[in-house]
Amino acid sequence: MFERLKSALGSLTQIASHTTLSKEDIDKFLWDFEISMIESDVASEAIESINANLKKKLLDTKIPRSEDRSKFVREELKAAIRETFSKTKKVDALAMMRAKMMRNKKEHVGPFIILFLGINGTGKTTTVARFARLLQKNNLSVVVACADTHRAGAIEQLTEHANRLKIKAIAQSYGSDPAAVSKDAQLYAEAHGIDVVLIDSAGRIQTSKNLMEEMAKIVRVVQPDLKIFVADSLAGNDAISQAKEFLKFTDFDAAIMTKADADVKGGGALSIAFITQRPIIYLGVGQSYDDLIPFDLEEFIDSLFE
């Protein structure tokens, strides 16, 4: 995963060890850095910010003359990337769910509700199923709501996943109101003492306004505790514009990047986190139920320089 971004950063730190890093060297270095970032699918807004931080650091600091120079540049680069993401919110989904589960036991506040948002084909339904599996592994009980009542096959797809995972799927017929399906799932969970409701929503792109109204209605009716945007790592700039659109209309809390296993570039996670200031909390890394791994930006930045 993310080979291009890693090798770009690796080769940049190598270049740094061979030059004196005069002002001209730094300009050339930043130029190369910018090109590598563009090639790795990092959004231009994020590149500008990292570049500005990096330039300031490199110009302001006395650069060592010794062979430690590449280490020095690596650390400055890491710090510049980190600083760029310092405003990204923190979300610990499992901790939030456990906290509500405990409250529910005492105060009957109802299940924890997660609404999954995103465009068709990004891997939303698969992610809902993998998330259900993750919750099972963490001893949380779960029900799924088939609230994509538009895409042909969506209800069967999620119901089939639910059967395999031995969990309940709440569904109505195609064309029915997604908010009503979501409410049914919430009531089912309340009646059966289930900890978490996962709502799979529609993602047709042609009628974006109706789609956003539909999402707003689900939000009004069930008041989700968490709204998670699902983005396709391979979609490049499209994923970024989708993230902006969904953020504007739904103010989602966090994102999951799917298909990271097939992503050699790696800029998508950086770009979405920077532009939305929402954290990427998990990565989809394959097609099986266990292919959902936690994502931590700090660890990701460190791993880019390994």
Any idea what DSSP says for residue 64? P
Phi and psi dihedrals of 249, rounded to 5?
-90, -25
Concatenated DSSP letters of 108-162: ----EEEEEE--TTSSHHHHHHHHHHHHHHTT--EEEEEE--SSTTHHHHHHHHH
Tokens 């790696």 — which residue? 266
Q: Which residues, including other chains, have CB under 8 Å from residue 60's CB and lie 6 or more apart? A: none
Nearer to ligand GDP, 148 or 253 (CB): 148
The minimum distance between CB 46 and ligand GDP, in angstroms, equals 22
The minimum distance between CB 183 and ligand GDP, in angstroms, equals 21
Q: Which residues, including other chains, have CB under 8 Å from residue 262's CB and lie 6 or more apart? A: 233, 234
Size of the site for ligand GDP (CB under 6 A): 18
The minimum distance between CB 143 and ligand GDP, in angstroms, equals 18
Nearer to ligand GDP, 128 or 222 (CB): 128
Two structure tokens written together for 113: 């509700």
Considering only 100, 259, 265, 278, the residue that binds ligand GDP (CB under 6 A) is 259
Considering only 277, 287, 288, 303, the residue that binds ligand GDP (CB under 6 A) is 287
Nearer to ligand GDP, 121 or 193 (CB): 121
Cα–Cα distance between 94 and 84 in angstroms, integer?
A: 26
Kindly compute the dihedral angle of the four CA atoms of residues 80, 34, 234, 79, in this order, to the nearest 10 degrees: -10
Contact status: 203 vs ligand GDP (CB under 6 A): yes
Contact status: 258 vs ligand GDP (CB under 6 A): yes
Stretch that binds ligand GDP, among 3-11, 61-69, 98-106, 283-291 (CB under 6 A): 283-291
Residues 103-142 touching ligand GDP, rule: CB under 6 A, are 118, 120-126
Which residue's C-beta sits nearest to ligand GDP? Answer: 284
The residues binding ligand GDP (CB under 6 A) are 118, 120-126, 203, 258-259, 261-262, 284-287, 291
